[in-house]
A and B are shown apart, each in its own frame.
Chain A
Amino acid sequence: MNGLPERSRAVSFPSVWPSEVEKLFDDNAARLRGYLLSVGCPEPDVDDVIQDSILIVARRYASLDHPEMVRTYWYRIASRLVWKILKERRDRSLPGDPADYLQALPDPVEGAVDPDGRQAALALVHRLPLRQRQVLWLRVVVGFSEAETADVLQISVGTVKSQFSDAKKNMRKFVEGSGETREEGTN
């Protein structure tokens, strides 16, 4: 990494960016990007959310109670920022739901058009209610434990378990072709 010029040291930001935060960014930015898109963050806003959230993490790293859990902290901050964006969009009644962009995706039941199944999987995940989507993605794709997932979403471990179970059930229904569309309460 290139060193930061001395003149750019800011009073409110750490004089030396924690190397842990830099490593966190390098190792997780792409995966966080996928998570944010999965929970409905608009494509044009994803990079802004990643940038703002990592800046907050860098700003607060020194005061974290559990620096070893900085990854969940980053995901938590990013999730909250996405919520604000989605809320702002809802309040402005802007047309279009991110999931609408996925309507052109192939029917996941067919499978033949999408050999690796990724797009099909994304389409199915987007049919889940928001909380199930978040839990499923964090548990399966990101690889967080139940406790880490609960920490990111600021919910109880019990809720994580139930939402994860419900998400998998719904995904099976979707794959079998009998699933329903997203329930109310999602973005």
Chain B
Amino acid sequence: MDVESLLRTLTDPEEPTDGDSGRTFFEIMQGADEDPRERRRIQHLADLLDVEDAIYAQALEHLAAGDDHAAEPLLRIAADAGVGEAEDHLARILADRAADAVAPATGTGTGTPQAAGTSGQSPDPERSAQISTAGSSDDLLLPANHLRPEGEGAPELLPASRWTSWIEAELAGRLVDPTAVEHHSDVRNDLGLRFRYSTVTILAVDLRGFSLFRKHTLEACDFRPRVVRHPRALRTEEMRVLGEVCTFNPRFVLVPPAHDLQPIDQQIRPVGRISRPAARTVADVMRNDVPVPVISARTTVHETLERMFAAEAQVAAVEAGSELVGVIRLSDLAQRLAAAQGSPSIERITGLIHPADFVPPDAPLEAVRRTLARDPGGIVVVRDRDGRRLGYITAELLLTSPDEDDGPAAPPVDQPGTVTPVLLPSRPFPTKIGRRATAT
């Protein structure tokens, strides 16, 4: 029997053999009419589907605009919900990322300097190594006249866009235990201390806030004795000292090989035996009295605005059933209102929903800082393992929460703790650093 014949046998729907063909239309509708819980359940289900569709639509918009980074979290949600081709789009983004992590094949193996173009392009073996001055975030970064490491086992270079932190090899070399680092023979001295890249230690110094780690960094740089100083005094001096050994440049250097690719946080390994006090956690800062009105995905823009104005809120939480599916920002509503030329908009908010960011109460505060640095107008939801909402954190709360640094003395240096490196934003070093400088 051929395929077409076989498929034709399926065109007539098979009658259930037990005689039960399910409820009739009337029975189904009557059941929903008479049971309020059933109505609510159906309503919530429909709302959830709408939100998932809206998230997928937003992801497609980001993809169309070439913003894979913004599309990825939305695609993850949509793929989990089985919407459209979200899985395929997500797979492509992840595949592209892995491909970008691998430096283009040189093909010469003779140590000829190679230039690097944008990720995914094969380098021209005839060009000399040079820093790309065009400023493309995907350019590989090498100092001028630097010979690209080649040969078997040579470290692979990653595009700058893969990193948001900054490494200063010389600085790192003074902090790590030298016996724990194996030097790679292919790396020239002008890049600083040579590392074996499968075990490279990446250090990033956060100059936005005090950290004991930074204090040790300063002391290690110029071998000053460990003197407890006031954090504010450190900040002025550290800029000077660090400026002598570091290159404050948003473009940075070598990174681990492609097979070591992991999210930036996981690639930063603890450094030596530096100890610091336990970092503050989310639970120290979160508030549960932050005005966050709860709305459904079917709420109109106009109604949402009214509720947010009444609550004096900047953000509203979108729920489908009891599940928080996203947040709406006042700024997005304002833009939509402006587009409607001030007329009350009866359009649903589904197109304006952003995925919500969740953290557990014991998460380090730095994780929240990074999240809000990407989206200062947003909100981070604190929830426990059971999914219960415990509170919220906004950028304003971070800025106004009491600071441990305000004490008269710096934290003691000998308390055990885990080093939690923080990330420097990938932009030129600002000339003035405020005490609570927040990336925007």
Contacts and interface: CB of A to CB of B under 8 A. Distances in A.
Interface in B87-112: 87-88
Nearest to B38: A55
B2 interface: yes
Contacts of B23: 47, 51
Contacts of B15: 30
Interface string B74-88: 000000111111011
Contact of B10 (A22, A55, A58, A121): A121
Nearest to A120: B6
B82 A124 contact: no
Contact of A140 (B10, B13, B45): B10
B295 to A, nearest CB: 16
A175 B6 contact: yes
B343 to A, nearest CB: 20
Contact of B82 (A33, A56, A80, A121): A80
B386 interface: no
Nearest to A139: B7
Contact of A55 (B32, B80, B81): B32
A129 interface: no
Nearest to A1: B26
A180 interface: no
A156 B85 CA distance: 8
B30 interface: yes
Interface stretch (A64-72, A96-104, A110-118): A110-118
Contacts of B25: 1, 17, 21-22, 25-26, 54
A117 B32 contact: no
Given A8-B34, A51-B23, A56 B9 contact: no
A55 B1 contact: no
Nearest to A141: B10
Given A30-B13, A34-B10, A83 B46 contact: no
A84 interface: yes
Interface in B5-40: 5-7, 9-11, 13-16, 21-23, 25-26, 28-34, 36, 39
Contacts of B32: 10, 13, 55
Contacts, number: 132
Contacts of A31: 13
A175 B1 contact: yes
Contacts of A30: 13-15, 21
Contacts of B29: 4, 13, 17, 55, 58
Contacts of B36: 10
Contacts of A147: none
Interface in A132-167: 136-137, 140-141, 143, 153-156, 159
B49 interface: yes
Interface string B29-70: 111111010010011011001001100100000000000000
Interface residues of B, number: 43
B10 A125 contact: yes
A168 B28 CA distance: 37
A111 B3 CA distance: 12
B43 A117 contact: no
A80 to B, nearest CB: 6
A108 B6 contact: yes
A80 B22 contact: no
A50 B82 contact: no
A59 B85 contact: no
A2 to B, nearest CB: 6
B361 to A, nearest CB: 25
Contacts of A22: 25
Interface in B266-315: none
A160 to B, nearest CB: 11
A1 B31 CA distance: 15
A93 interface: no
Nearest to B36: A10
Contacts of A12: 39, 43
Given A31-B13, A54-B28, A159 B85 contact: yes
A77 B49 contact: yes
B7 A80 contact: no
A171 B6 contact: yes
Given A59-B43, A117-B5, A168-B3, A51 B11 contact: no
B111 to A, nearest CB: 42
B26 to A, nearest CB: 6
B7 A141 contact: yes
A11 to B, nearest CB: 8
Interface string B183-218: 000000000000000000000000000000000000
Contacts of B22: 29, 33, 47, 50-51
A182 interface: no
Contacts of B83: 80, 154
A55 B28 contact: yes
Minimum-distance CB pairs A-B, first 6 = A83-B82, A154-B84, A8-B33, A30-B13, A121-B6, A47-B22
24 contacts: A1-B26, A8-B30, A9-B33, A10-B39, A12-B39, A12-B43, A13-B29, A21-B25, A22-B25, A30-B21, A33-B13, A34-B14, A55-B32, A56-B42, A87-B82, A121-B10, A124-B6, A137-B10, A140-B10, A141-B7, A143-B11, A171-B6, A175-B1, A175-B2
Given A60-B46, A80-B83, 16 more contacts: A2-B26, A8-B30, A10-B36, A17-B29, A25-B25, A33-B22, A55-B32, A55-B42, A59-B43, A79-B82, A108-B6, A120-B1, A121-B6, A124-B6, A137-B10, A141-B10
